[in-house]
Amino acid sequence: MCINMVKVAFKVNGEHIELDVSPRELLINTLRSKLGLTSVKYGCGIGECGACTVLVNGEPVLACLTLTVDVNSKDIITLEGLSKNGLTDIQRAFIEEGAIQCGYCTPGFIIMAEYMLREVPNPTISDVKEYLKGNLCRCTGYINIFRAVLKAAKSRVSR
Amino acid sequence: MVIEIPLVNITARNTHIIPFEFEYYEPRSLEEALELLAKFKGEAKILAGGTDLLVKMKTRIIEPKVIVNIKRIQGLRYIIEENEHIRIGALTTLRDIEKSTIVEKNLPALHDAVKVMGSIQIRNMATLVGNLCNASPAADTAPPLLVYNARVVAMSTRGKRFIPLEEFFKGPGITALEPDEMLVEVIVKKNNKGSSAFEKVSRVVVDLAIASAAVYAEISSDGVIEDSRVAVGSVAPKPIRTRILEERIKGLRLGSEELKKAIYEIDREISPITDVRSTAEYRRHIVKVLVWNAIERVYRRIRGECV
Amino acid sequence: MSVEFMFIGKRTPRKDAEAKVTGMLKYTYDLEVPGMLIGRIVRSPYAFADIRRIDVSEAVKMGAIVVTPSDIPQKPYNPRLVSINEVTFKDTYILTYKPRYLGEPVAAVAASSEELAQKAAECVKIEFEKIYKPILDPLEAIKPESPRIHEKIMKGDKWIEVENNIAARLDYDEGDVNRGFEEADVIVERTFKTGKRYHMQLEPKAVLVVLEPGGKLTIYTTTQTIHNTRILISQLFDIPESRINVIRVPIGGSFGSSIQTNYLVPIAVALALKAKKPVKIAYTREEDILDHSNFVFHFKIKIGAKKNGVFTAAEFINILDVGAHQVQPYPLLGTSLGWFISMYKWKNIRYRGIAVYTNKVPGCALRGYGAPEVQWAVETLVDEIAEELGIDPIDLRLKNYVGKGELFWGQGPTVKSIIKSDGVPELLLKGKEIIRWSERGHPSEKKGRFRRGIGVGRGFHTSGAGGPISGEVIDYTGCILKLNEDGTLDYITALQDHGGGTLDAHVKIIAEELGIPPELVNIATASTETTPYDVCTHASRGTYVGGECARRAAQIVKQKILEAAIRIIGRVVNPEALRIGYDKELKQAVVYVEGTDIKLTLAEIARTSWQRNWGTIGAFVSYRATSAPPSFTVYYVEVEVDTWTGKVKPIRVVAGVDVGTPINPDMVEGQLHGGFVMAWGMAFTENTAYDPLTGEIMGRGLITDYKIPTAADVPTPEEFTVIIAKTYEPTGPFGAKGLGEAAMNPAVAAILNAVYNAIGIRFYELPVTPDKIIEALKEKGELEW
Ligand SMILES: Cc1cc2nc3c(=O)[nH]c(=O)nc-3n(C[C@H](O)[C@H](O)[C@H](O)COP(=O)(O)OP(=O)(O)OC[C@H]3O[C@@H](n4cnc5c(N)ncnc54)[C@H](O)[C@@H]3O)c2cc1C
Ligand code: FES
Ligand code: FES
């Protein structure tokens, strides 16, 4: 089947979406321009910075290297979806630990931190580095981000 | 003498979008995919994880007319242990491999390699087969699979063929695949006598290799190399096995001066270049250290000192 | 000096924190307006060429709006307005028929989508008259036989000839250098070269230009200075400033990359004027790296010292590779000298600085404006001299550094002031203990594959570029503070916050001055038409200059609040007896008289002033600082060098800083973390190398090959200690000074001095890649391979 304009249907942050897209449309642009989900940031377009990270069926995916047709029938979570019911423990820890400066990288980090805590509830500092090494931050030097993630992990485990 | 200054079409690149149109197909079965490949021949490109392909499209290194997205094909994502073999399907991601106990136990060098590839996001998207088909001299999964004597299975409407991985790589970005062929599986024979390891050096932690090395070796309990296979990356136009070296290190003791000297033989087999990642001289040097380190790690693995 | 503060020095969450952690904050790239066109820039495929003709017919046929140099005022300009006009060198054209670096904008298109704009851009055909071989080495560029990259440029309002590709020069002499060197017992002379670094701020530059009904322009863009952007656009297009409004938009990092008006701003304006529609241009990452990167510094430095460790003379030759266009290399020649001269008491000085054109991406400021480079070189040399003289490097520093009571002119010869606060001894001595300096050993004692070393680097940055007299640099700011009708306040300033929390610091300063909780103060959205002029958030002036301005506004507002209170109270009250404070029970700010029952809430005062028609309580302040005091930093770093691979790992970091009173201690820490990590990249990986044939950035200019440290390359929180000196800057708001740049400046020196301490080798060319380390070990006969 050759496809020129494609009908896609998927879930974003729990909401059903149906769209006609060109096969060359990228998920990052669909989310940002068509759905207004601008927490998904463009930082490089080539997989290097992690600012466009979203969860697709619970797994972290770079929206800049994903065709929108490819998420047909899948379930996508962006940062907007994570904090629907108020700030998460990770978000609060980011604020408390000064893990944000310009904030441009922050959505990608929070998504990855969320993913990590689901996979590794009790992470070591090496785990944190491993899970976050695909997200570039030029402002914070990462150190307060580590603190924030470890703090959130602690509070989650103790809950 | 007039030197021709090549034009660099910077305007054509655009990583916000995919800057050109293509025909798009989403086959639901292997047969359908193979028919599309047969139909479009060289005009079509297979899309798997897209972590190489889409970058190259955005930056206009390639401009395929047709994209065949194979991700909707059922039954291509697996790691199967079958008697003496491990089979890995075309849609198996690097993260699948990283999390696989089959791989961790039987193919530790491959496991080492995927753990130091890209980021978790990249590993979650990228496929092993994509890494091989992209055929970068720096492809990190290539050296481990070379030392395992892996074979790949290529399919087309014309049939199926088994290609030893060593014959699969032809040059930078060039493989033995015919334009109508798809790589469907990687087959590795288990070898439980020895163990294996992979080493890599790069500029920062998330990066392509400046150089890499994988070693499979059988080492006696007192540290003598009885048999080995060694492969290296980023030091030749393609990932290569270093047979002279393998021959020379046989019978040598770990940590010995003789072994070090023997490793220098690798100079005869490699042809590194200077590029933006590093210099030819450094690659020449570092690849030896990597081979040495990998051998040490194999030995520690054999003795159960590390995983 | 120790003062108890209510809010200053305490951790408080930043006001934009929630918007940032939820991803709701809108940056320029996130903005959209109905009917907006997307612009794309057509870039030169050659590094140095003459264009004969640009054929846009196909793009026009597609329906795209197209602009070429012929559509645009051909006025040379300098995108950064910071020097006074007489010393502003202008050589840039919005679009050009003579591209001087690969990727220079030659035309631009706009269409309804990025896909269409891309297609149209690719349809524009450029016919070349002549293609030249790119000149990439400044030392080659200055040879008389080299072709001229620019022939004529403007200095102020006058045309000047460019000779030998020298863009600008600055010489300086003080004392008798020859005699100084004659008196010296040791002389060390070295040459240094830095990499061409790229800012790699996470948000690529972007702009949205909206044509308002009636023809007024509204501009949203990534900028550190909305006012200079407005002035520049006004000058370029001959539009009165009153018809241009530049909005302050949150910016995703900058580090100097938007210290000037980015090239895409005038291009988008030209497109919008032609299209009569809103136009947005957002750079892709690979375009962003073509807009600007840093200068490359070539230094030759000679220092003389006596046996007792007293310096006698210094000679400093500075060749700046500015790339294809000037973004204020002339003031950089001045600051380079300023950084140098304000480091140590050299006594006699000779300085020769030239800025040279090459066919590379134009250089602009990058965090520190030359200070990390100069301080790396100086701190390397000081270590070398210490070793030659057998003096402890820390003692040598303490003996010679420029400190309290001495003349300081970090921002160059026209910006001088006297140092009034100085935490250097405290930081050097405390840090020394924490890092265990005395145990660091000598490189000759270190053997084995993995070798550890400890190094020190000391430096500073200025807080702004103010001074007692008006020099060549423009530096003043302004703000408005007004009490709203319910007792809250709006704080209105043009100053940009790059992420360091500058505006939150201002809020705390206002809160402290007024004695009210920071929550009451709103940081208002700001634009050029609603704010007084501010030069730019640069030179780490945000807290020191902007903060003092805010404090003065708060002082005025406080006075007026008290006056209103007296009016309400009605009884005769001695104004001196009135206090403002936070009433915990009422959970409100109140005005009260101690020992009486007189108490009015701020809300009551505000409301009464409104209801009784007394008018708005507010203040408008325009402020120039009379000094630009140094914030000192001291780094102690421990590294481990793998002598087999040439890779270096951070082991421990002690970062000491003297910022006067730390307004936000947690943000101070954050700056130091970020500064260190940026320095790590500068030391070991960051460089854009150029292909000698094409003049393209190698690796196709993709950040795949511009490696900044990742989370897995940096120290852990336990390995990073921050110490904040207890000082008080009498000229700063509540004793505060600036920080952003000081946080990084001497870190590279400390890192590479640590490498020396580990392996006994010094490196004079950045970045110090593993191949250089292996090569050097080999030369020294210490490569085990
Ligand atoms: C940020 C980043 C970091 C990276 N780090 C590393 C690293 O550390 N080490 C490393 O080796 N690589 C790295 N890569 C490169 C890349 O991720 C890997 O090569 C990856 O394995 C490619 O797999 P893919 O599924 O994404 O391939 P795709 O991009 O989908 O395909 C790659 C090529 O293979 C072809 N292809 C794919 N599947 C088949 C098939 N079944 N049959 C025939 N042809 C096929 C495609 O047509 C294409 O030409 C990195 C990439 C990025 C963006
Ligand atoms: S924008 Fe997707 S990884 Fe950078
Ligand atoms: S906070 Fe600015 S890039 Fe991370």
B159-177 pLDDT tens trace: 999 999 999 999 999 999 9
Check: CB of residue C244 under 8 Å from CB of residue C228: no
The answer to whether residues B151 and B228 belong to one domain is no
What mean pLDDT comes out for the span B252-268? 96
Identify which has the larger pLDDT, C581 or C223.
C223
Alpha-carbon distance of C531 to C32, in angstroms, equals 24
Write the residue with the smallest CA distance to atom 2 of ligand 3.
Answer: A102
Check: CB of residue B125 under 8 Å from CB of residue A139: no
Which residue, C116, C115, C95, is CA-closest to C106? C95
Question: How far does the CA of residue A53 sit from the closest CA of chain B (Å)?
Answer: 8
Rg (CA), chain B: 20
**Among A81, A101, A128, which residue terminates a domain?**
A81
In this structure, is the dihedral angle defined by the CA atoms of residues C324, C325, C331 and C332, taken in order, positive or negative?
negative
What mean pLDDT comes out for the span C138-149? 97
Check: CB of residue B271 under 8 Å from CB of residue B235: yes
Does the bond joining C413 to the residue before it have cis omega, within 30 degrees of 0?
Answer: no
Chain A residue with minimum CA distance to C717: A143
Q: pLDDT band at C1, cuts 50/70/90?
A: very low
Fold for the domain defined by C17-24+476-623:
Aldehyde Oxidoreductase; domain 4 (3.30.365)
Give the number of the ligand closest to the Cα of residue C500.
Answer: 3
Residue A129 located in a structural domain: yes
What three-state secondary structure class fits C270?
A: helix
Residue A117 located in a structural domain: yes
Please state, rounded to an integer, the average pLDDT across all residues of chain C.
Answer: 95
Q: Do C43 and B10 touch (CB under 8 A)?
A: yes
Fold for the domain defined by C296-467+627-779:
Aldehyde Oxidoreductase; domain 4 (3.30.365)
Joined together, the tokens standing for residue B173 give 């970005």
Question: How far does the CA of residue A128 sit from the closest CA of chain C (Å)?
Answer: 8
Check: CB of residue C124 under 8 Å from CB of residue C59: yes
Alpha-carbon distance of B272 to C333, in angstroms, equals 41
Most C-contacting residue of B8, B120, B122 (CB-CB within 10 A), to test interface: B8
Q: Do B18 and A26 touch (CB under 8 A)?
A: yes
* Confidence at residue C577, expressed as pLDDT on a 0 to 100 scale: 87
Residue A45 located in a structural domain: yes
CA C412 to chain centre: 16
What three-state secondary structure class fits B147?
A: helix
Which residue, C684, C755, C783, C773, is CA-closest to C453? C755
* Confidence at residue C719, expressed as pLDDT on a 0 to 100 scale: 98
Q: Is B206 on the interface with A (CB under 8 A)?
A: yes
The one-letter code for the residue type at B7 is L
What mean pLDDT comes out for the span C482-494? 97
* Confidence at residue A1, expressed as pLDDT on a 0 to 100 scale: 45
Give the number of the ligand closest to the Cα of residue B184.
Answer: 1
SS3 assignment for C745-769: CCHHHHHHHHHHHHHCCCCCECCCC
Which residue, C110, C55, C95, is CA-closest to C275? C110
Distance A45 CA to ligand 1 centre (A): 16
| A/B interface, count of CB pairs below 8 Å | 90
Residue B4 located in a structural domain: no
Q: Note the ipTM here.
A: 0.97
The answer to whether residues A55 and A111 belong to one domain is no
Joined together, the tokens standing for residue A115 give 């993913």
CATH ID of C31-132+202-253+258-290, from 3.90.1170.50, 3.30.565.10, 3.40.50.2000, 3.40.30.10: 3.90.1170.50
What mean pLDDT comes out for the span C326-346? 95
Residue A46 located in a structural domain: yes
- Which residues of chain A from 117 to 156 reach within 8 Å of chain C, CB to CB? 125, 128-130, 132-147
> For residue A49, which atom of ligand 2 is closest to its CA?
4
The answer to whether residues A77 and A117 belong to one domain is no
Helix/strand/coil percent split, chain A, to 5:
40, 20, 40
Q: Do C23 and A43 touch (CB under 8 A)?
A: no
Joined together, the tokens standing for residue C102 give 């690969």
The answer to whether residues B204 and B157 belong to one domain is no
The one-letter code for the residue type at B305 is E
- Chain B residues lying within 8 Å of A21, measured CB to CB: none
Maximum Cα–Cα distance for chain C, whole Å? 90
* Confidence at residue C468, expressed as pLDDT on a 0 to 100 scale: 83
DSSP B101-135: HHHHHH-HHHHHHHHTSS-HHHHHH-BHHHHHHHT
Q: pLDDT band at A2, cuts 50/70/90?
A: very low
% of residues, chain C, pLDDT over 70: 100
Please state, rounded to an integer, the average pLDDT across all residues of chain A.
Answer: 96
**Among A59, A81, A103, which residue terminates a domain?**
A81
Joined together, the tokens standing for residue C292 give 């600007």
Give the number of the ligand closest to the Cα of residue B206.
Answer: 1
Please state, rounded to an integer, the average pLDDT across all residues of chain B.
Answer: 97
* Confidence at residue B3, expressed as pLDDT on a 0 to 100 scale: 75
- Chain C residues lying within 8 Å of A40, measured CB to CB: 23
Q: Is A104's C-beta closer than 6 angstroms to any atom of ligand 2?
A: no
Alpha-carbon distance of C734 to C130, in angstroms, equals 60
What mean pLDDT comes out for the span C754-765? 98
Ligand 3 binding pocket mutation candidate from A106, A111, A142, A149 (most atoms within 8 A of CB): A106
Q: pLDDT band at C3, cuts 50/70/90?
A: low
- Chain B residues lying within 8 Å of A46, measured CB to CB: 15, 55, 58-59
Decide the pairing of beta strands C158-161 and C89-90.
Answer: unpaired
Joined together, the tokens standing for residue C539 give 């030179």
- Chain C residues lying within 8 Å of B280, measured CB to CB: none
% of residues, chain B, pLDDT over 90: 96
Closest Cβ opposite residue A98 in set C25, C669, C676: C669
Residue B3 located in a structural domain: no
Chain C residue with minimum CA distance to A78: C23
What mean pLDDT comes out for the span C313-328? 97
Which domain CATH number covers B58?
3.30.43.10
Distance C285 CA to ligand 2 centre (A): 10
Strands (E) located in C182-337: 186-193, 206-211, 217-221, 244-248, 279-282, 296-305, 311-323
The answer to whether residues B53 and B92 belong to one domain is no
Which domain CATH number covers A66?
3.10.20.30
- Chain A residues lying within 8 Å of C667, measured CB to CB: 98
Q: Is A100's C-beta closer than 6 angstroms to any atom of ligand 3?
A: yes
- Which residues of chain B from 49 to 108 reach within 8 Å of chain A, CB to CB? 50-51, 54-55, 58-59, 67, 69, 71, 95
Distance A136 CA to ligand 3 centre (A): 8
The answer to whether residues B154 and B249 belong to one domain is no
* Confidence at residue C542, expressed as pLDDT on a 0 to 100 scale: 85
Q: Is A52's C-beta closer than 6 angstroms to any atom of ligand 2?
A: yes
* Confidence at residue C410, expressed as pLDDT on a 0 to 100 scale: 81
Distance A42 CA to ligand 2 centre (A): 6
pLDDT at A69 over 90: yes
Q: Is C500's C-beta closer than 6 angstroms to any atom of ligand 3?
A: no
What mean pLDDT comes out for the span B240-250? 97
Alpha-carbon distance of C457 to C750, in angstroms, equals 4
Which residue, B286, B231, B282, B289, is CA-closest to B259? B289
Establish whether domains C31-132+202-253+258-290 and C296-467+627-779 are of one fold.
no
* Confidence at residue B1, expressed as pLDDT on a 0 to 100 scale: 56
Distance A54 CA to ligand 1 centre (A): 20
Question: How far does the CA of residue C661 sit from the closest CA of chain B (Å)?
Answer: 36
Which residue, C781, C778, C773, C784, is CA-closest to C453? C773
Which residue, C632, C622, C640, is CA-closest to C725? C632
The answer to whether residues A62 and A16 belong to one domain is yes
pLDDT at B258 over 60: yes
Q: What is the pLDDT of residues C558-617, one digit of tens each?
A: 999 999 999 999 887 787 889 998 888 888 889 999 888 899 999 999 999 999 999 999
The answer to whether residues B60 and B146 belong to one domain is no
Closest Cβ opposite residue B121 in set A2, A4, A53: A53
The answer to whether residues A106 and A71 belong to one domain is no
User: How far from B34 is each of A23, B88, B178, C592, CA to CA, in Å?
Assistant: 20, 19, 12, 85
This prediction has a pTM of 0.97
How many domains is chain A partitioned into structurally? 2
- Chain B residues lying within 8 Å of C121, measured CB to CB: 11
Most B-contacting residue of A56, A67, A74, A109 (CB-CB within 10 A), to test interface: A67
Distance C530 CA to ligand 2 centre (A): 36
Q: Is A29's C-beta closer than 6 angstroms to any atom of ligand 3?
A: no
Alpha-carbon distance of B239 to B128, in angstroms, equals 15
The answer to whether residues A93 and A76 belong to one domain is no
Domain containing A98 equals 89-157
**Among A81, A115, A145, which residue terminates a domain?**
A81
The answer to whether residues A73 and A93 belong to one domain is no
Residue B307 located in a structural domain: no
Domain segments of chain C as ranges: 17-24+476-623, 31-132+202-253+258-290, 296-467+627-779
Q: What is the pLDDT of residues A81-128, one digit of tens each?
A: 998 889 999 999 999 999 999 999 999 999 999 999 999 999 999 999
SS3 assignment for C517-579: CHHHEEECCCEHHHCCCCCCCCCCCHHHHHHHHHHHHHHHHHHHHHHHHHHHHCCCCCHHHEE
* Confidence at residue C573, expressed as pLDDT on a 0 to 100 scale: 76
The answer to whether residues A100 and A65 belong to one domain is no
How many domains is chain B partitioned into structurally? 3
Residue B13 located in a structural domain: no
Give the number of the ligand closest to the Cα of residue B143.
Answer: 1
Residue A142 located in a structural domain: yes
Ligand 3 binding pocket mutation candidate from C202, C498, C677 (most atoms within 8 A of CB): C202
Domain containing B45 equals 19-69
Residue B7 located in a structural domain: no
The answer to whether residues A69 and A98 belong to one domain is no
Residue A1 located in a structural domain: no
- Residue whose token pair is 């520093």: C397
In this structure, is the dihedral angle defined by the CA atoms of residues B82, B88, B91 and B93, taken in order, positive or negative?
positive
Q: How many residues does chain B have?
A: 307
Q: What is the pLDDT of residues C521-573, one digit of tens each?
A: 999 999 999 999 999 888 778 899 999 999 999 999 999 999 999 999 988 77
Q: pLDDT band at A3, cuts 50/70/90?
A: low
Residue A38 located in a structural domain: yes
Which residue, C81, C735, C84, is CA-closest to C469? C84
> Which chains have 3 or more CB–CB distances shorter than 8 Å to chain C?
A, B
* Confidence at residue C607, expressed as pLDDT on a 0 to 100 scale: 97
% of residues, chain A, pLDDT over 90: 93
Residue B9 located in a structural domain: no
Q: pLDDT band at C191, cuts 50/70/90?
A: very high
Residue B8 located in a structural domain: no
Residue A73 located in a structural domain: yes
- Chain A residues lying within 8 Å of B71, measured CB to CB: 70
**Phi (first) and psi of residue B255, to 5 degrees:** 75, 0
Which residue, C700, C699, C653, C702, is CA-closest to C678? C653
Q: How many residues does chain A have?
A: 159
Chain C residue with minimum CA distance to A89: C21
Give C650's Cβ-side CA count (13 Å radius).
33
Which residue, B93, B5, B97, B15, is CA-closest to B54? B15
Q: What is the pLDDT of residues B173-232, one digit of tens each?
A: 999 999 999 999 999 999 879 999 999 999 999 999 999 999 999 999 999 999 999 999
Most B-contacting residue of A62, A109, A130, A142 (CB-CB within 10 A), to test interface: A62
What three-state secondary structure class fits C27?
A: coil
Task: Say if residue C783 is exposed, middle or buried (CB neighbours under 10 Å; 0-12, 13-18, 19+).
Answer: middle
What three-state secondary structure class fits B77?
A: coil
